[in-house]
Amino acid sequence: MRIRVFYHDKCFDGACSAALFSRFYRERIRERAEFEYVGLVHRAGALFNEDDFMGDENAIVDFKYSPSPRITWWFDHHQSAFLTPEDASHFEQDTSNTKFYDPDYRSCTKFIAEVAKERFGFNSEPVAEMIEWADVIDGALYPDPATAVEMREPAMKLTMVIESNQEPGFIPRLIEMLAYQPLAEIINFPDIAARIPALMERHRRSIEILRERVECKDGTVFFDVTDHELEGYNKFIPYYLTPDCTYSVGLSKSSFRTKVSVGSNPWAPVEPAENLAKICERYGGGGHARVGAISFPPGKFEVARQAAAEIVAELRANYASRASR
């Protein structure tokens, strides 16, 4: 039996979700299943290719819903989980009992763990560390910006490795490790340990680049790094550099998209009030109430800059209006 698992690529929670789903499936559904892993990314245009759903079973974790009849399992926790109202209706009418959604969970990994335990009797204790770190990282549950940015813990280093990876086949190998190995052991595997020094240097350089670019006004910091290959920058750097800001809007680029990232400061002195997923949805993006993003085609810098400028203006105006009351 061949199971294809489609997961949110370049994302620690996405990789952990795939790892946990695979372990759960082997232990509670079919022991001798063989797994293939396919990373999915948010981009302009179609997110799915029906021809890719070629497994005997096909699962999507930590990513948007597909109404394809070939999808047999689905887990997600994003507020913007459905591309269309028709997709949402399709999910609501599903009777398979193998598709699950709850936007109240901070991480998809923890969501899978609890559904698998309650519905299928799965014991997640052997991978409790991975589940907890996925919740911390995806839910931004760090005690302070320094913890999020200084990258001391193995989970933080693995996040950096995952978000910066460009090698096909690497994350699927890592997913198999995550399912059965402690994080401290994984980080010391030669293929992973060898990547860390260069990534840490890139991380330090990104801090300095952002230090020169961040502009904080009316509770919102803005920066544009499209002249650098920095899409995988640590998203907490803006709050590390400007701790008094409430929101951040950043422009970055990669080979497959131009990205507008919209976030809120978990340690902000003024509580965030805007639903960032709803704002991003107006431009074809989405996410969570506290963090979202929009993907534009590669090279569409001016369109992305216009969207970013409008979002910055909206956030600053709303922040200033509340501050004046």
Q: How confident is the model at residue 233 (pLDDT cuts 50, 70, 90)?
A: confident
Give the closest residue to 127 by CA, choosing from 35, 36, 27.
27
Q: What is the pLDDT of residue 232?
A: 75
Q: What is the pLDDT of residue 45?
A: 66
Radius of gyration of the chain (CA): 19
Q: How confident is the model at residue 324 (pLDDT cuts 50, 70, 90)?
A: confident
Q: What is the pLDDT of residue 206?
A: 94
Q: Which amino acid is at 56?
A: D
Decide: residue 206, CB within 10 A, 0-12 exposed, 13-18 middle, 19+ buried: middle
Segment 256-286, tens digit of pLDDT: 889 999 999 999 999 999 999 999 999 999 9
Segment 80-132, tens digit of pLDDT: 899 999 999 999 999 999 999 999 999 999 999 999 999 999 999 999 999 99
Segment 31-61, tens digit of pLDDT: 999 999 999 988 766 688 899 999 999 999 9
Q: How confident is the model at residue 325 (pLDDT cuts 50, 70, 90)?
A: confident
Percent of the chain with pLDDT over 90: 88
Start and end residues for every CATH 3.10.310.30 domain found in the chain: 214-323
Question: Which pairing describes strands 291-296 and 34-40: parallel, antiparallel, or unpaired?
Answer: unpaired
- The answer on pLDDT for 212 being more than 90 is yes
Model pTM score: 0.86
225: how many CB neighbours lie within 10 A of its CB? 18
| Spatial distance between the Cα atoms of 208 and 4, rounded to a whole number of angstroms | 40
| Spatial distance between the Cα atoms of 47 and 45, rounded to a whole number of angstroms | 6
Mean pLDDT rounded to a whole number for the chain: 94
- The answer on pLDDT for 255 being more than 90 is no
Segment 179-201, tens digit of pLDDT: 999 999 999 999 999 999 999 99
Fold of 214-323: Diaminopimelate Epimerase; Chain A, domain 1 (3.10.310)
Q: Which amino acid is at 192?
A: I
Fold of 2-191: inorganic pyrophosphatase (n-terminal core) (3.90.1640)
Range from 39-48, 69-78, 285-294 that averages highest in pLDDT: 69-78
Strand partners, 293: 261, 286
